[in-house]
């Protein structure tokens, strides 16, 4: 995707001014992808985009300098393996007017040694992460980002339908996951995760697909995602192998009601915690509060998980254009787990759901 680097850097500097930040330090990763449309080869050699009040520069491992030069005109402060990065860092900080920075924003995903290289060379500087600057900017998506997310959601819907078709007694979770991965690959998407949790495994929210064979009466959590054109998908639906287990329908209805409550609560100007509360109250009122062990959702963009996080305590104010998941769940140990997940983009009048798949239990014939 073509990125408006100039515009995004200008927006970042406005945020820096508003929040009193002297320096933003970004490592090769998704923040850099959002700003520049690429990132240099990431490894253990400190490589940082340093953004000061008016100028930006790269601390750049010498052996990546020529290759990276093909992607950007931003200046480099190269350092060789022999010299180490410290001298080049000091020059780079001075170059962008941040040699005496008092408030530094660090890319929270950067390696600990990169972060402490910066902080140890700016004694007395306070640190923060990107929540109020880059993170805030990245939350609201532009039209091109929406289209990339919508395209990925459509691919994930088709992968989910392939999973539904593949369900059969005696197949392993891993075999179902393989069908999902193959479908993603066939549409040019790189699979990111492929949770197929059958029976009791479904009660572990982050269970990975294993060698367990599907049995008649299993309720199966299928939570899958992939990435194409730098943007991800993420969807969860439920399948039963024949008749679902005792008590399943009642719990599914509670989770569905929680999804609907969260969808109804999500409006521009509302705090993220109000959306979480809407889902959580439905589940608590039904007597399952202790079995909803995670947040209601997470933002989604270049990163599969990014702000805004839809948690019980999040003061983030939702705005038009934000994209996030709504995915309440109830996990009954030793019995089954149920999660239903939508990705939405917040419009002026409420959330637009990117998937077109119903959230009903899919009953696979046995």
| Residues of span 328-347 touching a copy of itself by CB under 8 A | 333
List CB contacts of 255: < 8 A, sequence separation 6 or more.
283, 328, 329, 330, 338, 339, 340
| 182, 293, 317, 350: which one binds a copy of itself (CB under 8 A) | 293
Tell me the closest approach of the beta carbon of residue 204 to a copy of itself, in angstroms. Answer: 4
End-to-end CA distance of the chain: 44
| 14, 17, 63, 170: which one binds a copy of itself (CB under 8 A) | 63
Beta bridge partners of 235: 224
Count of residues of this chain found to bind a copy of itself when the rule CB under 8 A is applied? 40
Tokens representing residue 12 in the block: 């970042």
| 82, 211, 315, 349: which one binds a copy of itself (CB under 8 A) | 82
Residue 62 or 169 having the CB closest to a copy of itself: 62
Q: Where do we find the tokens 């490592």?
A: 27
Torsion (CA) 74, 5, 154, 337 in degrees, nearest 10: 80
290 forms part of the interface with a copy of itself (CB under 8 A): no
76 forms part of the interface with a copy of itself (CB under 8 A): no
271 forms part of the interface with a copy of itself (CB under 8 A): no
84 forms part of the interface with a copy of itself (CB under 8 A): yes
d(CA 300, CA 283): 24
313 forms part of the interface with a copy of itself (CB under 8 A): yes
List CB contacts of 128: < 8 A, sequence separation 6 or more.
19, 21, 103, 104, 105, 106
Stretch that binds a copy of itself, among 30-38, 63-71, 224-232, 352-360 (CB under 8 A): 63-71
Stretch that binds a copy of itself, among 3-11, 141-149, 212-220, 291-299 (CB under 8 A): 291-299
| 3, 72, 305, 352: which one binds a copy of itself (CB under 8 A) | 305
One-character DSSP codes across 1-50:
----HHHHHHHHHHHHHHHT-SEEEE-TTHHHHHHHS-----SSS--EEE
| 13, 49, 50, 64: which one binds a copy of itself (CB under 8 A) | 64
42 forms part of the interface with a copy of itself (CB under 8 A): no
Angle between the 112-120 and 86-95 helix axes, to the nearest 10 degrees? 60
- What distances in angstroms separate CA 105 from CA 60, 126, 295, 299, 307, one per listed residue? 19, 9, 26, 20, 16
| Residues of span 93-112 touching a copy of itself by CB under 8 A | 106-112
Element at 224 (helix H, strand E):
strand 219-228
Interface mask (CB under 8 A) for a copy of itself, residues 153-192, using x and -? ----------------------------------------
205 forms part of the interface with a copy of itself (CB under 8 A): yes
81 forms part of the interface with a copy of itself (CB under 8 A): yes
Tell me the closest approach of the beta carbon of residue 120 to a copy of itself, in angstroms. Answer: 9
Beta bridge partners of 3: none
Give me the residues that bind a copy of itself (CB under 8 A), please: 41, 43-44, 62-64, 66-67, 80-82, 84, 106-116, 127, 129, 203-208, 293-295, 305, 309, 311-313, 333
């Amino acid at each position: 995707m073509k990125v408006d680097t100039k515009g995004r850097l200008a927006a970042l500097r406005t945020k820096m001014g508003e929040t009193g930040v002297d320096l933003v330090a970004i490592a090769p990763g998704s923040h850099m992808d959002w700003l520049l449309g690429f990132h240099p080869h990431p490894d253990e050699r400190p490589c940082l985009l340093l953004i000061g009040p008016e100028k930006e520069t790269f601390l750049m491992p010498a052996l990546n300098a020529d290759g990276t030069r093909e992607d950007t005109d931003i200046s480099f402060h190269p350092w060789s393996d022999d010299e180490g990065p410290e001298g080049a860092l000091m020059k780079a900080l001075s170059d962008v007017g941040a040699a005496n920075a008092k408030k530094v924003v660090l890319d929270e995903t950067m390696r600990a040694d990169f972060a402490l290289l910066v902080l140890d060379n700016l004694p007395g500087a306070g640190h923060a992460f990107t929540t109020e600057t880059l993170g805030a900017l990245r939350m609201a998506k532009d039209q091109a980002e929406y289209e990339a997310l919508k395209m990925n959601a459509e691919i994930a819907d088709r992968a989910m339908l392939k999973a539904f078709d593949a369900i059969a007694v005696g197949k392993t979770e891993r075999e179902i996951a393989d069908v999902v991965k193959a479908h993603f690959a066939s549409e040019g998407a790189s699979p990111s995760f492929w949770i197929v949790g059958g029976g009791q495994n479904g009660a572990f929210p982050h269970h990975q697909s294993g060698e367990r064979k599907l049995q008649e009466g299993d309720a199966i959590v299928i939570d899958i995602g992939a990435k194409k054109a730098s943007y991800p998908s993420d969807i969860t639906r439920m399948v039963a192998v024949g008749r679902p287990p005792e008590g399943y329908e009642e719990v599914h209805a509670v989770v569905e009601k929680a999804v609907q409550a969260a969808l109804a609560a999500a409006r521009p100007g509302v705090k993220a915690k109000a959306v979480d509360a809407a889902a959580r109250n439905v589940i608590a009122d039904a007597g399952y509060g202790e079995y909803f062990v995670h947040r209601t959702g997470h933002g989604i963009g270049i990163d599969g998980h990014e702000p805004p996080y839809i948690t019980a305590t999040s003061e983030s104010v939702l705005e038009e254009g934000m994209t996030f998941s709504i995915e309440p769940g109830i996990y009954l140990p030793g019995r089954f787990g149920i999660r239903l997940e939508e990705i939405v983009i917040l419009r002026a009048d409420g959330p637009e759901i990117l998937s077109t798949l119903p959230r009903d239990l899919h009953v696979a014939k046995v």
